[in-house]
């Protein structure tokens, strides 16, 4: 059974949306939060490592890390338009033969997805209703590094969330924007054997990289 949120993701993040994001990326590079995540992961070292990029969007993380030395990548996304755009850009750069593209809800597909040294979720947990399951299942796939970008639980986001979701209700979209507890995210990852390595913030987002404990 397809979850309503995934239906909402497919409808919201359509080809027009994806093309807009790709054009911006080609002009300016990754958006700030994505760039900070990539830089933090690269600082740990990525040569010959594998990547699992969940909700990979236009593929910015995959492209940047493959060019930085990652050996192969898997892109899992519920938005088929983004998978199409990501694959086309990877083909243009001669990198598509090192990427596996999978369409669907990662939580539902997790048992069939191979582990990787690096797992990334860039602005993904705010798009998913069951954060504990998403984080625990994705952390189980990460051999060394786990990086994510998600909303800060501050006054701005607390006030914005109901307004954002009101717009989706008016448009009759099943998509919803979620705020999840950073403390709960940390707890789940600690229980999965990770420790926090570094964190950076913007007014709305936090960028956190965890590494598996020795």
CATH number for the domain spanning 17: value is: 3.40.50.150
Name the residue range of residue 109's domain.
Answer: 4-212
Say what the pLDDT of residue 214 is: 72
Confidence category of residue 6, pLDDT binned at 50, 70, 90: confident
**Cα 31 from Cα 152, distance rounded (Å):** 17
Task: Give the count of domains, the chain.
Answer: 1
Distances (CA, A) of 180 to 36, 127, 147, 152, 154: 21, 10, 16, 9, 11
For 155, which DSSP code? H
CA 185 to chain centre: 14
Say what the pLDDT of residue 141 is: 98
Check whether 21 has a pLDDT greater than 80.
yes
Q: What phi, psi does 117 have (nearest 5°)?
A: -65, -40
**Cα 43 from Cα 204, distance rounded (Å):** 23
Average pLDDT over residues 191-211: 96
Average pLDDT over residues 25-50: 97
**Cα 164 from Cα 213, distance rounded (Å):** 37
Check whether 13 has a pLDDT greater than 90.
no
Confidence category of residue 200, pLDDT binned at 50, 70, 90: very high
Say what the pLDDT of residue 107 is: 95
Check whether 1 has a pLDDT greater than 60.
no
The label of the residue with tokens 């990662």 reads 106
Q: Strand, helix or coil at 118?
A: strand
Average pLDDT over residues 189-204: 96
| Four-point Cα dihedral 194, 185, 13, 200, nearest 10 | -70
Say what the pLDDT of residue 2 is: 65
**Cα 140 from Cα 186, distance rounded (Å):** 14
């Amino acid at each position: 059974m397809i979850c309503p949120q995934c239906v909402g993701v497919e409808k919201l993040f359509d080809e027009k949306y994806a093309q807009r994001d790709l054009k911006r990326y080609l002009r300016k590079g990754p958006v700030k939060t994505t760039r900070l995540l990539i830089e933090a992961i690269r600082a740990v070292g990525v040569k010959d490592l594998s990547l699992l990029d969940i909700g990979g969007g236009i593929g910015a993380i995959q492209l940047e890390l493959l060019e930085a030395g990652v050996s192969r990548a898997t892109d899992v996304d519920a938005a088929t338009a983004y998978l199409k755009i990501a694959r086309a850009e990877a083909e243009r750069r001669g990198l598509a033969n090192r990427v596996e593209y999978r369409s669907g809800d990662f939580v539902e597909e997790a048992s069939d997805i191979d582990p990787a040294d690096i797992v990334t979720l860039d602005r993904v947990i705010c798009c998913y209703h069951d954060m504990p399951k998403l984080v625990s299942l994705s952390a189980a796939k990460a051999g060394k590094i786990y990086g994510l970008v998600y909303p800060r639980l501050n006054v701005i986001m607390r006030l914005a969330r109901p307004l954002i979701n009101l717009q989706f209700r008016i448009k009759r979209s099943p998509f919803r924007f979620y705020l999840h507890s950073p403390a709960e995210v940390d707890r789940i990852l600690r229980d999965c054997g990770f420790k926090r390595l570094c964190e950076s913030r913007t007014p709305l987002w936090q960028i956190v990289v965890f590494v598996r404990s020795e």
